[in-house]
Amino acid sequence: MLQTKFHIVLNPNSGTALRMGVTAERLHGLFAERGISISVDADAGRPFAERLQTARQSPAEMLLSAGGDGTVTALAQVAIETGRTLAVLPLGTANLLARDLAIPIPLEAWFEALDQMAPRRIDVGEVNGQAFLHKVVIGAVPGIAAAREKLRGRAELAARIGFLGHFIRRLSRLRRFAVEITPRAGEPRIERVQSIAIANNDYAEGFGQVFHRPRLDEGSLSLYLLRKLRFGDALRLAVEMVLGAWRNDDVLEVEHIRALTVRTRRRLIRAMVDGEIVSLESPLRFRILPLALSVLAPPVAVDMDANLEAN
């Protein structure tokens, strides 16, 4: 049984936390049942930067993110800086890192698996000194995501229809833009695209494996160039992603690199970093930090057939 002390940063206002009744008091009780000492920061009224500073100064051996992907990424930066392990209690909408690491999503299952989890090192992406765990997107997607964020928590049909209308109008008005891309070991080149994504490691093809990364320790960034994205292209790509055969689509180009620079004419670039909309200063300098983060996760599944063939 884990005897490590946890410092928990809880987002009490996340939809999952509210729906599942995850409060500081409940977390204290659940961890106390297992003999684990914790401190919980659930003060959503404080500036998040101050809450991160509290985590940075905490004497706890392990940091735990109880929220969505944005909370995970922000706390991961603190874990890297302080040399501690990050644990993830997934309470967000997408929970991308948890899914990639096979961390259980239901609260009860998470606590049942806790004793079997162990620290595991994974890669971290970096853009202009800021860590990211999943991907950075510039171009079409951030604007669409910002509109979707305004509707978060609104389940009425009118809101969903309104977003679909915005999505279709946005796609119809998209224009390609020029970017200068310079890989670390290559010459600069100009590309005209509608969107660019830079991912920490590579996304897999396979039925139902939408935005799934089977490996988080290959020490590589994946560059996805989207040449155009009309409504028909978006529908086709969505179907191809579900079916697991999207890499050869004509609108998409994929490269694998360890570092690159992206430059546009604008000084400030609107980007989506692990689901959060931010403004970044051009040029964007990307690099991979191999095995930079220690994260608490279930053991890696062993491929028994591969082991038998090797023997």
| 25 and 165 inside one domain | no
| 143 and 223 inside one domain | yes
Domain boundary among 74, 89, 116: 116
| 171 and 262 inside one domain | yes
Domain boundary among 86, 116, 146: 116
For the chain, the domain total comes to: 2
127, part of any domain? no
244, part of any domain? yes
CATH of the domain at 104: 3.40.50.10330
310, part of any domain? no
Each residue's pLDDT tens digit in the chain (311 positions)?
456 799 999 999 887 888 889 999 999 999 999 999 999 999 999 999 999 999 999 999 999 999 999 999 999 999 999 999 999 999 988 899 999 999 999 999 999 999 999 999 999 999 999 999 999 999 875 444 444 444 344 444 454 444 444 444 555 556 678 999 999 888 999 999 988 999 999 998 877 677 789 999 999 999 999 887 776 777 777 777 777 778 788 888 899 999 999 999 889 998 999 988 899 999 999 999 999 999 999 998 544 333 334 33
266, part of any domain? yes
Domain boundary among 81, 116, 151: 116
123, part of any domain? no
| 106 and 140 inside one domain | no
| 95 and 41 inside one domain | yes
| 43 and 148 inside one domain | no
| 276 and 196 inside one domain | yes
| 88 and 221 inside one domain | no
CATH of the domain at 272: 2.60.200.40
| 266 and 136 inside one domain | yes
Residue span of the structural domain in which 67 resides: 6-116
Burial of 116 (0-12, 13-18, 19+ CB in 10 A): exposed
194, part of any domain? yes
| 179 and 238 inside one domain | yes
1, part of any domain? no
Two structure tokens written together for 310: 């090797």
CA torsion 102→125→118→14, rounded to 10°?
-60
| 232 and 258 inside one domain | yes
221, part of any domain? yes
| 288 and 159 inside one domain | yes
